[in-house]
Amino acid sequence: MAADRRARARPVVPVWRPGLPIDDWRSVRRSLSTLATGLVVTAALLSAPMAGVGNAAVAGKGVTDAVGKRGITWKPCEEEPTVECGKLTVPIDWSKPDGPTVDLTLARRKATDPSARIGSLLTNPGGPGNSGVNDIFRPSGFSEDVQRRFDIVSYDPRGVARSGAVTCSASVYNKIPYEVMTSQADYDKWIAFNEELRADCRKLTGPLYDHIDSANVARDMDAIRAALGDDKLTSYGVSYGTLAQQMYAELFPKRVRAMVLDSNMDHSLDAKAFQVSEAAAVQDGFDEFVAWCERDTECVLHGRDVRALWKGLLEKADRGELYWPGVTDRPVSAHNLLWLGVVMNEGPDWPMEAKVLRALNGGPVPDDMPGPPGNGPVGGEFAEFPTAILCEDYNLELRNYKAYADVMRGANAVAPDMRYNPMPMGDMPRCQGHPVNNPQHELRYTGSAPLLVGASRHDPSTPYAWSANVARQLGSKATLLTFEGWGHGVYGRTECLTTAMDNYLISLKVPAKGTRCPAE
């Protein structure tokens, strides 16, 4: 399939998926969507953060420099000895640099040609909730030129994995109500559940729980910059990782050398605009899948009415009668079924999407059939709750069920087949009543370094319009690079895209305004 051809292997880094606890769809989506992710930062003053960037005053110039200069002791990683691992201790509350701390875990692959080394390329995993350390353990998907010139560095952001993961009791987490509300009683049930869950997560996670927003991650990034010994950092980020990059550009504009923002979050949208634009994007992804199935005989549903088949599966799920092949203990909810429209279109993997739909409709089950999509009960004693990061970055508060129903109607109107995007719509109930540290606002970038914003026209997870809007907000120093194709994350998809991004990262050569790379 043309949309699946790649100029080079891409960095295997998960993308935005706020709602997943510790369960099986993280590994599934990594195999479906080998998409680059990253966040690298560059920094400046901490004494007076920009208005709207985080809710805590940060004391003193050079605080991140002082923290970073404590240094990192590198040694071979136990899991992958060809990679170096280390820890950097940073304040939990950056306004109290001498207060309680958290250890950030980092990993790096050193430049393959030390004599040509430019510096560090710090990448940030998406999610929120994904591990950058695990991603470095895999073979790098960056081009040979980039690997030759940069140490590739990543980390587990605060509140994630080895860096103080947001942890809750599985027994409490598993009381979670159904994600789709249909009454004020459902809304009230969510409010009560959230109060119980947050109290439990705070108890198990400690004070870090209230300091995990992306503005704080950006401050951590500047401490990493100092620890790596770079005056300015070169950064690459994709999906949710771009939000910390955006915060970094605001907080530390004079320390940016180069910043690639790939498939952006838009931090200027209110709750309804956020959900409606996401619904439109996932519907667009489904439309592209249907169009491919109509024209390509590789689709096992070629010649059939795919929209009618999909509608029938959703109706069966609504009745509680749809079961995943081989899973008989619980039916697939309609909400979880919608996840197929996200994960199968992030790559995209249209041939598998068609096979899965055929199997759910009673057809043969493929040997490589993935497990059930979406969220489910968590086994064991604990559950991670990375959605708390989203809740501290986005004010998704709704006054009551009536306000929720208005948002849902807006999503339904632009997504006749997909109804809504299950990622953010499923996470919005979890954010009700949650304190917001880093609320939405228009970006303000005052630096002189050029920034490169990349996006695909048909991205089901971070709409193309989001990246276009971010480029507009960042101003004249930002250039939008458009991929006229499909999927989530654009680095490495075609020679055109990779060459443009590599030239920028290595030589600071920005592509011409309005550059568009065709789908192969």
The whole-number average pLDDT for the span 197-210 is 97
Q: What is the pLDDT of residues 1-12, one digit of tens each?
A: 222 222 233 333
Residue 115 has pLDDT above 90, yes or no: yes
Residue 128 has a CB neighbour count (10 Å cut-off) of 30
Domain ranges of the chain: 61-164+211-268+441-517, 272-361
Residue 488: name the closest of 2, 3, 1 by CA.
3
Cis peptide before 128 (omega within 30 of 0): yes
Helix-helix angle 350-360:306-318, to 10 degrees: 50
Q: What is the pLDDT of residues 389-448, one digit of tens each?
A: 999 999 999 999 999 999 999 999 999 999 999 999 999 999 999 999 999 999 999 999
pTM: 0.89
**Per-residue burial over 220-249, b = 16 or more CB atoms within 10 Å of its CB, e = otherwise:** bbbbbbbbbebebbbbbbbbbbbbbbbbbb
**Backbone angles phi and psi of 236, in degrees to 5:** -130, 130
Residue 90 has pLDDT above 50, yes or no: yes
- What the block records as the tokens of 29 is 């989506």
DSSP string for 232-258: SEEEEEEETHHHHHHHHHHH-GGGEEE
Please count the CA atoms within 13 angstroms of the CA of 228 that sit on its side-chain side: 32
The whole-number average pLDDT for the span 478-498 is 97
The whole-number average pLDDT for the span 369-388 is 92
**Where is average pLDDT lowest: 16-25, 137-146, 265-274?**
16-25
- Per-residue confidence (pLDDT) for residue 315, from 0 to 100: 98
Task: Name the percent of the chain in helix, strand, coil, to the closest 5.
Answer: 40, 15, 45
- Is the separation of the CB atoms in 260 and 491 below 8 Å? yes
R_g (Cα) of the chain, nearest Å: 22
Q: Name the pLDDT band for 46 (thresholds 50, 70, 90).
A: very low
Amino acid, single-letter form, for residue 155: Y
The CA angle 516-518-520, to the nearest 5 degrees, is: 155
Mean pLDDT of the chain: 89
Q: For residue 104, what are the β-bridge partners?
A: 88
- Per-residue confidence (pLDDT) for residue 50, from 0 to 100: 36
Give CA–CA dist 147/111, Å, rounded. 6
Residues 6+ apart with CB under 8 A from 353: 289, 340, 344, 345
**Where is average pLDDT lowest: 17-31, 181-195, 299-313?**
17-31
- Per-residue confidence (pLDDT) for residue 38, from 0 to 100: 30
- Per-residue confidence (pLDDT) for residue 36, from 0 to 100: 32
Give CA–CA dist 231/221, Å, rounded. 13
Residue 504 has pLDDT above 60, yes or no: yes
Fold of 61-164+211-268+441-517: Rossmann fold (3.40.50)
Give CA–CA dist 142/150, Å, rounded. 10
- Per-residue confidence (pLDDT) for residue 438, from 0 to 100: 97
Give CA–CA dist 191/46, Å, rounded. 36
- Per-residue confidence (pLDDT) for residue 445, from 0 to 100: 96
Residue 142: name the closest of 256, 264, 260 by CA.
260
Can you tell me whether residue 29 is helix, strand or coil? helix
Can you tell me whether residue 507 is helix, strand or coil? helix
The CA angle 472-477-481, to the nearest 5 degrees, is: 65
Q: Name the pLDDT band for 139 (thresholds 50, 70, 90).
A: confident
